[in-house]
Amino acid sequence: MKNRTRKLMAILMALAASSTMMLASCSSGNDSSTSAGNSTAAETGDTSTAEPQGDPYEVVMTYLYWGTLPTDFQMVEDAFNEKMLEKVNAQVTWVPLSFSEIGTQPSLMVSSGEKLDLMLCFQQTSFLDAVNKNMIIELDDLYAQYGSAIAEDMDVAMAGGYVDGKLYGIPSTRCRADSKGIIFADEYLNKYNLTVEDGLTYEDLDAMLETIKAGEGDAFYPFVMSGSGLTTFEFFHKIDFLGADAACGGMLQYDDSNQIVNVFATDEYMEHCKWMRKWYEAGYINGDAITATDSAQSFVQNGVGASYLLQTYWDMEANQELGLAMDMTMSNLTGTYAMTGVYQGQSWGIPVTCENPEVTMQFLNAIYEDEVLTNMFYWGIEGVHYVKDSENEGYINYPEGVTNATSTYTNPLGLYGAVDKMYQMPGIEDYFGKMQAFNDSITDDMKSPYLGYVFNTKNVKTDYAAVNDVLTQYRASLESGSVDPETVIPEFLSALEAAGINTIIEQNQNDLNAWLAEQG
């Protein structure tokens, strides 16, 4: 016994000694980062107290950035504060978060009681999660009282912020309707005399891909896709997921049946996967689709691909052309639609720990109201980071001697305020006119009869987690044609059923029926 205790001690000692070494080697790095964090907090704290005008409320908000934090982050934050004080008696502290942190950091801040007044819910799942865990508060009253600019600006898109009939999030989107489809590089269209129009069928695409493949040879893939989480089905069919996702069923058509179905059990799904399988086996689709980590765009840019799937929002073609520096033509395959899902994605919520939701709401409203504030997030300070184009309203350019690469402030995520008032760099002519024309072209028959209905997965969360897990296992390989649908779809469906998809759909159907009854 004694012998054994001694041995245990020896092991513990060894562990302890080795962890001390690790501690020593890590500590220097930790120190510097924490002290840096403290100093920025202290600085911003100083600026807010130094303001003479009463006692401005300090709004702490998440600030999402892409890549590295812009050099002039602090400078823009100070300028933003100055401008904000003119409108609302509030000061801001931005909490910079990278993409890898945005999902978890805000909830950690709320649960640990750290001050946070405005948080970005970056995806519908994290938004719903925040609502169901009571992490963010109801906004109906605040919105009615202080949200006039938001209402004017977001309009129909406000549908994305509701859960169980109550408003929890303020969406930030410029989409008023959306569509999905495919885009081709003109180079190959011209070479093989092909034309692209909206609403191409599988047969049309099959013929086009065959021609391109025959002409370009073995190591060329006319239809490229990539990623272990890729999906293709919803790019070919207009599917209303009713404010939730594929795990909760959906509707392939806007009809009057009000019947939610398991989209993976439909004939359309089988047909779709068969086409994908055919294209995969014929070498139209890249064989490494589900394991490739390069984007589909990069395949086309490198001259080994001709087309890929994308959202076909009105300015996407021009966007892709600018990004790839190639001429492109896109085809809207699903038709334009306006359904709840279009407006979900990013929304602003007010955490339960916020001490002054009234001022926070006024603050948020001010960002939607004032295009200077909106654009400050995106482009920085006028005269320093950008100059206005005197001839074209709404267009800007970099100041003399500054380029995209040397600019010290830009945050091209567009998540803040009235994103349709965002200034444009030269590239797309008559941007604002075209946007207006698109918004005006949205007709009532594009609108889903279930617009505004959002399915809450709260009561079926075990089934939902299990079904999602099955989806990650099967969807990408089926929808890229990597596996044979005839044998795999039956297996997929039985796995979905075992995981509980029918329970979810049943719940969804009940909720929808109740919602419809309420709408009258």
Give the burial string for 203-222 (b: 16+ CB within 10 Å, else e).
eebbebbebbbeebeeebbb
Binding residues with another protein: total (CB under 8 A): 57
Q: Is 8 in the site for another protein (CB under 8 A)?
A: yes
Q: What is the x/- site pattern for another protein, positions 116-155, by CB under 8 A? A: ---------xx--x---xxx--------------------
Q: What is the x/- site pattern for another protein, positions 278-317, by CB under 8 A? A: --------xxx-xx-x------------------------
* Runs of H (alpha helix) within 51-164: 73-87, 99-102, 105-111, 124-132, 140-146, 148-154
The least distance separating another protein from the CB of residue 32, rounded to whole angstroms, comes to 20
Instruction: Write out the binding residues for another protein, residues 347-386 only, by CB under 8 A.
Output: 351-352
**417 DSSP assignment:** S
Q: Based on CB atoms, which residue is closest to another protein, 48 or 286?
A: 286
Q: Is 30 in the site for another protein (CB under 8 A)?
A: no
Identify which of 327, 325, 328 has the alpha carbon closest to the alpha carbon of residue 310.
328
- Its sign, for the CA torsion 168, 174, 177, 181, is negative
Instruction: Write out the binding residues for another protein, residues 490-519 only, by CB under 8 A.
Output: 495, 498-500
Compute the distance between CA of residue 285 and CA of residue 295 in angstroms, rounded to an integer. Answer: 14
Assigned token pair, 422 = 């965002």
Residue with tokens 């795999």: 488
- Do the beta carbons of residue 351 and residue 137 sit within 8 Å? yes
Tell me the sheet residues that pair with 424.
395
The least distance separating another protein from the CB of residue 473, rounded to whole angstroms, comes to 4
- Do the beta carbons of residue 247 and residue 464 sit within 8 Å? yes
Assigned token pair, 192 = 């093989």
The least distance separating another protein from the CB of residue 226, rounded to whole angstroms, comes to 11
Side-chain-facing half-sphere of 310: CA atoms under 13 Å: 22
Instruction: Write out the binding residues for another protein, residues 171-230 only, by CB under 8 A.
Output: 219, 221, 228
Q: Based on CB atoms, which residue is closest to another protein, 87 or 461?
A: 461
Label the pairing between strands 305-311 and 221-223: parallel
Label the pairing between strands 305-311 and 387-388: unpaired
Q: Based on CB atoms, which residue is closest to another protein, 70 or 106?
A: 106
Q: Based on CB atoms, which residue is closest to another protein, 16 or 42?
A: 16
The residue within the footprint of another protein, chosen from 76, 79, 110, 119 (CB under 8 A), is: 110
Q: Based on CB atoms, which residue is closest to another protein, 131 or 175?
A: 131
Q: What is the x/- site pattern for another protein, positions 451-490, by CB under 8 A? A: ----------xxxxxx-xxx-xxxxxx----xx-------
The least distance separating another protein from the CB of residue 120, rounded to whole angstroms, comes to 14
Compute the distance between CA of residue 380 and CA of residue 72 in angstroms, rounded to an integer. Answer: 8
Compute the distance between CA of residue 113 and CA of residue 134 in angstroms, rounded to an integer. Answer: 14
Assigned token pair, 43 = 């600085």
The residue within the footprint of another protein, chosen from 20, 38, 443, 510 (CB under 8 A), is: 20
The least distance separating another protein from the CB of residue 475, rounded to whole angstroms, comes to 7
The least distance separating another protein from the CB of residue 158, rounded to whole angstroms, comes to 24
What are the residues binding another protein (CB under 8 A)? 3-4, 7-8, 11-13, 15-20, 23, 103-104, 107, 110-111, 125-126, 129, 133-135, 219, 221, 228, 286-288, 290-291, 293, 351-352, 461-466, 468-470, 472-477, 482-483, 495, 498-500
